[in-house]
Amino acid sequence: MARTLAQKLWDAHVVRSAPGEPDLLFVDLHLVHEVTSPQAFEGLRMAGRHVRRPDLTVATMDHNVPTRGGVKAADELSRKQMDVLVENCRAEGIALHQIGSRAQGIVHVIGPELGLTQPGMLIVCGDSHTSTHGAFGALAFGIGTSEVEIVLATQCLPQKRQGDLAVTVSGDLPVGVTAKDIVLGLIGRTGTSAGQGHLVEYRGPTIRGLSMEGRMTICNMSIEWGAKAGMVAPDETTFAYVEGKPHAPTGAAWEKALDHWRSLRSDDGAVFDGEIEVDASALEPHVTWGTTPAQVAPVTGRVPSPHSETDERALRYMDLKPGVALADIAIDRVFIGSCTNARLEDLRAAAGVIHGRHVHPKVRAMVVPGSTSVKLAAEKEGLDAVFKAAGFEWRNAGCSMCLGMNPDILAPGERCASTSNRNFEGRQGSGGRTHLMSPPMAAAAAITGHLVDVRELI
Amino acid sequence: MPAPIKRVEGRMAPLDLADVDTDQIIPKQFLKRIERTGYGPFLFYDWRARGDFVLDRPEHAGARVLVAGANFGCGSSREHAPWALRDFGFRAIIAPSFADIFRGNCYKTGLLAVTLPESQVRHLIDLVTEDPTAMVVVDLEGQEVRGDGFSYPFEIDAFPREMLLKGFDDISLIERREQEIAAYEEARAEWLPAVPAVSQSRRN
Ligand code: SF4
């Protein structure tokens, strides 16, 4: 029978299937970070259990690491969380990329970079943006801490089968419009929960034409419209990215892997529970105006009239009036970072806009590379100099102001143009106001001091 | 492993909002603990700090059932959210829909997450707003939410229902499948990445 990519990936990981029970799935890679794991390790210890497959478990520090000043700059509780991770990894023999290591970074940035993320795998992490790894044609989703404990102990996870959705994107992306705008536009159309209970495959010529970075940006935000996972069938772009990465197969194993990976696509005639078509050629750069990623509009538009109490509440929180041109909204801060948009390509795109210009005097702007190796690569090609000359702060890798667990936060009332994925109330700091957008759009906002259509600057 | 749970009986508290995300339920500054408990005082911290938050009104003190809007628990996967709700005193949450990871986390925490149609949730919110002392029973065995003059059946997957009713430990259930797991491991492709189980940080 014709199967979707998601079904193929699922079937390949079933350890056991029984009527009336969730399938028991085998996990190929378990990524661990400091915030959602301590209680799981503690649970193991209390039950006298150990990690079944430390060789399939990789840990890093990202959520609450300081982005300057090293580990000593962290507050006491953050430091304790990091110490506990070090201790847990040492006790269980788990590879850990801690601060100071070249491989440290946001968990969803380092997996692909190290070649740990490969097509066909099942990947989980105690973090909702694990869907990022689906860009490689992997089944990847976020889990809670109790599930982290289950995977640590058994390398398996009971999961109920999910439905399938297809999002087909065609048409050429106009100049100044990016993968971020595809996904923001999509979420604006579907709302925050249309994907619930589903595995989503992004496909079509526009997706095929995207780099791995662009595909990761889209898969990353699958969770923002409620999907369990997002994925893209692997192709030559994928293979070229994976080849030569530290953990990628080599020689004969590479050939075998390629043979398998080429079969990872939805069969012709495979049936989806729903299909959504997106015309990329009609897209404009998007910005969010509210407190969910679905409260979004083209930057050429205006703050809409509220349609619900949720909208009204969002406008109140954001201190915006209906009818105001989005491009008239002044900002205080700019954050270029996060697992959505802090890879090398993102930094290049932002630097391209910034080159030779200067950050608006009223704006404080910062770049937080997604990983230490992104940072080093960017420095090698001189991007740091472009940002610094323009007046940006150039920081060390981490989640930083995507969620503000470290000192990088907005002050109450501050308004931020951000390349991250969530604009929830207080996400970037209590009382802070977040507008989500692409890296070039955030760069343009930094220069002009307000939300602006990046096409006016290129 | 949470204790078995058959039904929850008590007063309700209304949270008449859609898309309540886990960043609101438990803001990030409280995720730095390494325990599973102690989050209750920080539940909805920012909203409560602004004053007159519905859960702080005296008439809702001690409520055991939270009634909320659609897509409750969206956003971050933090299990700290159900821990905080439970710590605060809730034992069940009723909403028109839940974000998937959050619902799973609730079951693991021993919190009943029950989905009812929008109109019935609306009725419950109106009811508790009018009469904060109104009692409900969220009956997992009988799969219904009932109170004075109404009973609303609800659906829940058979498996989590069993787990909640009996208080099973997932891990020991999975451990019984050792043979199948070992056979699966044996058959995995050899090129799949594995990381030597040593501290890599020392090497780089
Ligand atoms: S960058 Fe933001 S969204 Fe990504 S893992 Fe870190 S906190 Fe989560």
The answer to whether residues A347 and A439 touch, using CB atoms and an 8 Å cutoff, is yes
Q: What is the mean pLDDT of residues A204-222?
A: 98
Rounded Cα distance, A82 and A60, in Å: 9
Angle, vertex CA B86, rays to CA B85 and CA B91, nearest 5: 105
Helix (H, G, I), strand (E, B) or coil at A56: helix
Q: What is the mean pLDDT of residues A324-340?
A: 98
Contacts of A248 in chain B (CB under 8 A): 193
Over 80: is that where the pLDDT of B2 sits?
A: no
DSSP A325: B
Q: What is the mean pLDDT of residues B11-39?
A: 94
Rounded Cα distance, B172 and A257, in Å: 34
Which tens digit of pLDDT belongs to each residue from B68-113? Answer: 999 999 999 999 999 999 999 999 999 999 999 999 999 999 999 9
The residue length of chain B stands at: 204
pLDDT at B1: 60
CB atoms within 10 A of CB A429: 23
Of B49, B70, B195, the CB nearest to A193: B70
pLDDT at A74: 84
Which tens digit of pLDDT belongs to each residue from A345-373? Answer: 999 999 999 999 999 999 999 999 999 99
B contact test, residue of A60, A97, A193 with most B CBs within 10 A: A193
Over 70: is that where the pLDDT of B199 sits?
A: no
User: If we measure between CA atoms, which residue out of A255, A276, A227 comes closest to residue A6?
Assistant: A227
The answer to whether residues B65 and B106 touch, using CB atoms and an 8 Å cutoff, is no
**Is A90 touching B (CB cutoff 8 A)?**
yes
Q: What is the mean pLDDT of residues A196-218?
A: 98
Q: Where are the alpha helices (DSSP H) in A36-178?
A: 38-46, 76-92, 107-113, 145-154
- Token pair in block for residue A196: 């619930």
**Which residues' Cβ are closer than 6 Å to ligand 1?**
A 62-63, 106, 108, 127, 129, 338-339, 399, 402-403, 420-421
Rounded Cα distance, B29 and B40, in Å: 14
Rounded Cα distance, B123 and B126, in Å: 5
Rounded Cα distance, B165 and A48, in Å: 25
Rounded Cα distance, A162 and A228, in Å: 8
**Is B101 touching A (CB cutoff 8 A)?**
yes
Q: Which residues have a Cβ under 8 Å from the Cβ of A395 and sit 6 or more positions away?
A: A67, A68, A337, A366, A367, A368, A369, A408
Q: What is the mean pLDDT of residues A252-271?
A: 97
Helix axes B100-109, B158-166, angle to 10 degrees: 20
CA atoms within 13 A on the CB side of B188: 23
Q: For residue B169, give Cα distances in angstroms to A31, A43, A159, A336, B164.
A: 23, 12, 15, 43, 10
Which tens digit of pLDDT belongs to each residue from A70-81? Answer: 878 889 999 999
Q: Which residues have a Cβ under 8 Å from the Cβ of B176 and sit 6 or more positions away?
A: none
pLDDT at A70: 81
Of A16, A144, A158, the CB nearest to B101: A144
Over 60: is that where the pLDDT of A432 sits?
A: yes
pLDDT at A330: 98
Q: For residue B135, give Cα distances in angstroms to A106, A440, B8, B138, B142.
A: 46, 54, 10, 10, 17
Rounded Cα distance, A79 and A76, in Å: 5
The H or E element containing residue A287 is strand A286-288
Rounded Cα distance, A99 and A192, in Å: 34
Share of chain B above pLDDT 70, in %: 96
**Is B143 touching A (CB cutoff 8 A)?**
no
Q: For residue A244, give Cα distances in angstroms to A217, A260, A346, B2, B66.
A: 22, 18, 22, 46, 52
Rounded Cα distance, A339 and A342, in Å: 6
Q: Which residues have a Cβ under 8 Å from the Cβ of A402 and sit 6 or more positions away?
A: A335, A337, A338, A339, A340, A418, A420, A421, A422, A427, A428
pLDDT mean across residues, chain B: 93
Which tens digit of pLDDT belongs to each residue from A98-154? Answer: 998 999 999 999 999 999 999 999 999 999 999 999 999 999 999 999 999 999 999
Confidence of residue B196 (pLDDT cuts 50, 70, 90): confident
Q: Which residues have a Cβ under 8 Å from the Cβ of B104 and sit 6 or more positions away?
A: A143, A144, A147
Rounded Cα distance, A290 and A326, in Å: 11
Q: Which amino acid is at B77?
A: S
Sheet of A364-367, strand order? A393-394, A364-367, A333-336, A415-418, A433-436
Which tens digit of pLDDT belongs to each residue from A416-427? Answer: 999 999 999 999
The answer to whether residues A225 and A131 touch, using CB atoms and an 8 Å cutoff, is no
CB atoms within 10 A of CB A46: 8
Contacts of A81 in chain B (CB under 8 A): 32, 34
Transcribe A128-159 into DSSP letters.
GGGGGGGGGS-EEEE--HHHHHHHHHHSEEEE
For chain B, the domains span 7-203
Over 90: is that where the pLDDT of A273 sits?
A: yes
DSSP β-bridge partners for residue B79:
none
Over 50: is that where the pLDDT of B202 sits?
A: no
Rounded Cα distance, B2 and A217, in Å: 37
**A positions 29-48 inside 8 Å of B (CB):** 29, 35-36, 38-39, 42, 47
B contact test, residue of A113, A192, A309, A317 with most B CBs within 10 A: A192
Angle, vertex CA A181, rays to CA A107 and CA A302, nearest 5: 125
Confidence of residue B201 (pLDDT cuts 50, 70, 90): very low
pLDDT at B204: 35
Transcribe B35-100 into DSSP letters.
SSS--GGGTTHHHHHTS--GGGSGGGTT--EEEE-SSBTBS---THHHHHHHHHT--EEEES-B-H
DSSP A16: E
B96 Cα to chain A: minimum distance (Å): 12
DSSP β-bridge partners for residue A105:
A371
Q: What is the mean pLDDT of residues A409-418?
A: 97
Place of tokens 């991250």: A420
- Which ipTM did the prediction report? 0.95
Confidence of residue B203 (pLDDT cuts 50, 70, 90): very low
Q: Which amino acid is at B81?
A: A
The answer to whether residues A303 and A322 touch, using CB atoms and an 8 Å cutoff, is yes
Rounded Cα distance, A449 and A333, in Å: 9
Task: Say if strands A296-298 and A286-288 run parallel, antiparallel, or are unpaired.
Answer: antiparallel
Confidence of residue A257 (pLDDT cuts 50, 70, 90): very high
Indicate the CATH number of B7-203 among 3.20.19.10, 3.30.470.10, 3.40.50.720, 1.10.390.10. 3.20.19.10
Which tens digit of pLDDT belongs to each residue from A226-238? Answer: 999 999 999 999 9
Interchain contact, B104 vs A144, CB within 8 Å: yes
Rounded Cα distance, B204 and B195, in Å: 14
pLDDT at B48: 95
pLDDT mean across residues, chain A: 97
Confidence of residue B140 (pLDDT cuts 50, 70, 90): very high
pLDDT at A204: 98
Over 90: is that where the pLDDT of B169 sits?
A: no
- Token pair in block for residue A423: 């604009």
Q: What is the mean pLDDT of residues B63-70?
A: 98
- Token pair in block for residue A361: 């005097």
The answer to whether residues B19 and B147 touch, using CB atoms and an 8 Å cutoff, is no
Q: What is the mean pLDDT of residues A269-292?
A: 98
